[in-house]
Amino acid sequence: MTVRIGVQAALGLSALAAVALVFLVVDTTLVWLAIGFAGGVLVVGLPRLVGQTAVTPSQSEMTTSRS
């Protein structure tokens, strides 16, 4: 009787560990996807944003030649 209870407890804990591992993998995957998306936004968007607001040499030459 106690062996049967021990086996059931071991199987129950194994199933619980498997479910926890699945949740851990899914949660970690979502976190890494979010990190990758944020990194991609920084790598692609930041140079475009800086490029739009930065003064290029041709613009600075045009302003100095006018004055």
- Taking residues 14-26, what's their average pLDDT? 90
Give the model's pLDDT for residue 42. Answer: 80
Asked whether residue 6 carries a pLDDT value surpassing 80, the answer given is yes
62 in any annotated domain: no
Asked whether residue 57 carries a pLDDT value surpassing 80, the answer given is no
Q: Cα(23)–Cα(13) distance, rounded to whole angstroms? A: 15
Domain count, the chain: 1
Give the model's pLDDT for residue 15. Answer: 92
64 in any annotated domain: no
59 in any annotated domain: no
Domain that holds residue 35: 22-53
Query: Residue 9: which H helix or E strand, with range?
Result: helix 2-53
17 in any annotated domain: no
- Taking residues 10-29, what's their average pLDDT? 90
pLDDT in tens, 21-53: 998 888 888 888 888 888 888 887 777 777 766
